[in-house]
Chain A
């Protein structure tokens, strides 16, 4: 099993969700996060006082998939989240040791 963690532009969330649903993936956890990589922040000015805002709002998508489906999901996120500009985000992939469904204690891929 693989865990896919993708940090994307907030305005791309709907596109990504739609694209994943089209390939039959609809289980995911979404969080609103803030961060920055190479994308520079922006300047805000309040009554002449300047503030550099480095941490920008992003959306983090987390999902755990059967190994066989991981690559397809990654491709789908790549194509649906891309705008081609700095700030599009990153995808991280992890190995998952175990998955357990709390309701009936299914384990492994059966729990996904």
Chain B
């Protein structure tokens, strides 16, 4: 320290001789600091974008692929994989502009269509220290995984062409507008950029999980149950794949939540910690209930619990402290267990892989609990004003419920209309013989496991 102070003194003495040179050197120094920060943030955000893509493929593809029967493993993995291609193109053409352009509180304008005006220069409104292109590609990865989550509800019975059309329309008319409402400049719920009904959603609890989970329920109800549902056994064909998938989801989620800080900052670390602890608590909570209810602690219970916790912490991850994060996780583990084991059976809908039970229910719970536990001690987005109930702002819970209710309504109405359109245009459900043969052969002409080959 003393050495450094001496050096600085000597430097300032030298500089004092020539104020113009001093100013120039200061300006250079400032630019260098800015560029160093930008490089650090940009590196972290590119890595985060890749982590979030890894959640869809192979993460979700494996998690879902292992849960279906052997004859549908490829078709189910394809529901995730092909969206990595399809949604990316939609995003580049209009999606990014609808979500992050400026226009109305519900729908963005066309200034970023075909990625015009999206270059290396940062967009100061969204992420002032990283390339605008990095921000764009990072947000794309969220648009990819969201419709892939829905596929858990229509697995084993969706027609492939219908699935492509459904996803394209769903992205255009539900996801992109909803992303605009929550994250876009001037969006209805945007808590920091002029929203009328500010709700906290750090990494996409409402946009990603509530919207996909609720849409999943609508799909399950609209399509009806699989052939032989509750008559034939429909056991997961390979829980090894599912376990590997769940682990990749857990790791990828650090990009999803910690990356949502949009910088390699202390806030990213805070979100990383909250995310990890919520997943851990949720896994233990689900496992405990499973053990008590069924006599054995199942591996699928432990992994499903972790995913439920990750879902629930998503909106809260950048606003809550570590212990509330564990509470949110534990609550999600217990609630989602009962959603998939009790509520689903009571109502009889065939949400094949529990997209609604985990993402819809866990996402809604997380969004509401964010209103309880969000605190300025973690992320002071309102310059000292109280944020959640723990800060003394009980009203925030109502805003959170309001944002959830809007996402629920949009998802229910929108998904139903889109399903109706797809049903008329391409058909959405595989014919009974195709479904019985298995979608791998009937839709794709391939088999996941060729034991003779």
Contact = CB atoms under 8 A, between A and B. Distances in A.
Interface in B323-344: 337, 340-342
A46 B342 CA distance: 12
Nearest to B298: A45
Interface of B: 233, 235-236, 290, 293-294, 296, 298, 300-301, 304, 337, 340-342, 345, 354
A41 to B, nearest CB: 11
A40 to B, nearest CB: 16
Nearest to B301: A47
Interface size class of A (residues with CB under 8 A): under 10
Contact of A49 (B296, B337, B341): B341
Nearest to A51: B233
A87 B77 CA distance: 38
Pick the 8 closest A-B CB pairs, nearest first: A48-B341, A45-B294, A47-B340, A51-B233, A51-B235, A46-B300, A47-B341, A46-B236
A47 B289 CA distance: 11
6 contacts: A45-B294, A47-B301, A47-B340, A48-B293, A48-B337, A48-B341
A46 B69 CA distance: 13
A104 B355 CA distance: 62
A47 B235 contact: no
A45 B236 CA distance: 10
Contact of B340 (A44, A48, A53): A48
Given A45-B294, A46-B235, A51-B233, 6 more contacts: A46-B236, A47-B341, A47-B354, A48-B293, A48-B294, A48-B340
Q: Which residue of A47, A48, A53 has the most chain B CB atoms within 10 A of its CB atom? A: A47
Nearest to A45: B294
A44 B235 CA distance: 9
A78 B106 CA distance: 76
Contacts of B337: 47-48
B296 A45 contact: yes
A111 to B, nearest CB: 28
B345 A46 contact: no
Interface string A77-90: 00000000000000
Contact of A48 (B233, B236, B345): B345
